[in-house]
């Protein structure tokens, strides 16, 4: 299922959402112009490498905890980037509209940080960087899930286009993440190329936190 757009109205310009999209895209494009060795070094420094925080011998305090946030702006491929930017484009503007720009940014980063933390918890000895905005976006999806449950998401479900409630589309998305995350632990010892636990962690964080960041209703 590929979401095309949603039907929820947005009453403000989502400058923070656009800024996040532009920053992720700009960093990815810039990374294409540096030597491979430099790119790998940057990914290992600013991506979250779980073993750096799990083993004193590996350098636990390698970069403080900055990589738990900086990894949210790095992507591994054009497909990885486009998928994340696309979900931001569809769902984040409405959440930013309901929260306001600065509260939304804080919410986004908190969800992303918790998502990265949960991924580290479940694969603490992984020695490759965890990167991508997916965990933070999962928090945005959680907020959308509760704020706009009956808004329609227009989905391309080959070979047809259908309209389904957001609660159904995002509910299926959560079930897929949960199934993939638990399967990776049971059958693959957590070593997969998608940070499923980060997705779930971000969604949990968004579920818990979104109410704290909503604009107060006018009296």
pLDDT tens across 5-42, in order? 999 999 999 999 999 999 999 999 999 999 999 999 99
Mean pLDDT over each residue of the chain, to the nearest integer = 88
Rama region for 82: left / alpha / beta (φ>0; ψ in -120 to 50; rest): alpha
- Please say whether the beta carbons of 219 and 117 come within 8 A: no
State pLDDT tens for residues 40-84. 999 998 999 898 888 654 444 445 688 999 999 999 999 999 999
Q: What is the pTM of this model?
A: 0.91
Spell out the domain ranges in the chain: 2-213
pLDDT at 158 > cutoff 80: yes
152 bridge partner residues: 165
- The domain 2-213 is classified under which CATH number: 3.40.50.920, 1.20.1540.10, 3.60.20.10, 3.30.70.920? 1.20.1540.10
**pLDDT of the residue at 188:** 43
How many other CB atoms are found less than 10 A from the CB of residue 31?
Answer: 15
pLDDT at 104 > cutoff 70: yes
Q: Cα separation of 183 and 197, whole Å?
A: 11
Q: What is the DSSP letter of 143?
A: H
Quote the tokens at residue 202.
């971000």
**pLDDT of the residue at 141:** 95
- Please say whether the beta carbons of 74 and 131 come within 8 A: yes
Which residue bears the tokens 């999209």? 21
């Amino acid at each position: 299922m590929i979401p095309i757009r949603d039907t929820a109205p947005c009453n403000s310009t989502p400058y923070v959402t656009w800024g996040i999209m532009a920053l992720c895209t700009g960093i990815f494009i810039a990374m294409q112009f540096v030597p491979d060795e430099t790119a790998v070094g940057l990914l290992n420094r600013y991506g979250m490498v779980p073993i750096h925080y799990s083993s004193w011998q590996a350098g636990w305090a390698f970069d403080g905890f900055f990589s738990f946030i900086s990894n949210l702006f790095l992507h591994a491929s054009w497909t990885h980037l486009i998928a994340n930017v696309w979900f931001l484009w569809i769902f984040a503007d409405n959440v930013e509209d309901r929260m306001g720009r600065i509260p939304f940014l804080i919410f986004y980063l908190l969800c992303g940080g918790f998502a990265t933390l949960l991924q580290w918890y479940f694969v603490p000895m992984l020695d490759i960087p965890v990167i991508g905005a997916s965990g933070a976006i999962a928090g945005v999806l959680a907020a959308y899930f509760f704020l706009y449950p009956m808004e329609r998401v227009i989905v391309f479900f080959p070979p047809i286009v259908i309209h389904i409630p957001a609660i159904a589309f995002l509910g299926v998305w959560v079930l897929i993440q949960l199934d993939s995350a638990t399967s990776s632990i049971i059958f693959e010892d957590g070593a997969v190329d998608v940070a499923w636990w980060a997705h779930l962690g971000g969604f949990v964080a968004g579920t818990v936190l979104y109410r704290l960041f909503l604009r107060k209703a006018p009296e």
